[in-house]
Amino acid sequence: MSMIRSLFLAATLATAGMTALAPGQTATAATADDLNKDADQALHRLYKTNPLAETLSRKARSVLIFPNIVKAGLVFGGAYGEGVLRQGPKVQGYYNSVTGSWGLQAGAQSYGYVVFLMTAKAETYVYDSKGWEIGVGPTVVVVDEGVAKNLSSSSLQDDAYAFIFDQQGLMAGISIEGTKISKIRR
């Protein structure tokens, strides 16, 4: 019985954390126009802070943009956000990003991430799969400062490159492993 109470408390605190992190936001999903505007702003912020991302964008076949992911957890955690898949300036579809986790974790935060799809294999996988589980299918490299120092436009070998940015809130660690990306209607 104590374990059930602990799990209920963890779920309650995680939900409260997600609500507190995003005040004024409703539970309804964003419209297509909202997602497009948020994606434009997110790319601008990313390019301003990371010139390598802008370089990759010119070589990428498509770009998957998640401007705002909200994550919360206490032992059990979750994250959710919606985004846009673009091929050049053209919107190819709308997607959600869902992550579930468990382990030593506590807190709540928000962040954005962008995945540059560099190969036809990566593009096809996103278009044709019934949900892309990061870590299954095309190779995704999360670009941090260490990776960025050794990456140039001539050394691009992987299927996709992901940048995480605009982290806000208090939660130890962040990754996109265990994330499932699925197409949604807007």
* Encoded tokens for 93: 């579809």
pLDDT at 145: 53
**pLDDT (tens digit, 9 = 90+) per residue, 80-110?**
999 999 999 999 999 999 988 877 778 899 9
pLDDT of 71 > 70? The answer is yes
pLDDT of residue 100: 86
**pLDDT-derived band at 153, boundaries 50, 70, 90:** low
Res 176: pLDDT? 56
Which amino acid appears at position 171 of this protein? M
Quote the pLDDT of residue 18. Answer: 45
pLDDT at 181 over 70: yes
Q: Which residue has the higher pLDDT, 63 or 11?
A: 63
The two structure tokens encoding residue 132: 């892309």
3-state SS class at 130: coil
Query: What confidence tens digit (pLDDT) does each residue in 123-139 have?
Result: 998 888 878 777 666 77
pLDDT tens per residue across span 11-41: 444 444 444 444 444 344 579 999 999 999 9
Q: Please give the average per-residue pLDDT across 143-167, as a whole number.
A: 68
User: How far is the first Cα of the chain from the last one, in angstroms, to the nearest whole number?
Assistant: 43
- Give the span between the Cα atoms of 10 and 4, in whole angstroms: 10
Which residue ranges make up each domain of the chain?
A: 2-24+31-184
| Predicted structure pTM score | 0.76
Indicate the residue type of 31.
Answer: T
Which residues lie below 8 Å from residue 132, measured CB to CB, with a gap of 6+? 125, 126, 180, 181, 182
The pLDDT mean for the chain works out to: 78
Residues 118/68, Cβ–Cβ less than 8 Å: no
- d(Cα 63, Cα 54) in Å, to the nearest integer? 11
What's the alpha-carbon Rg for the chain, to the nearest Å?
A: 17
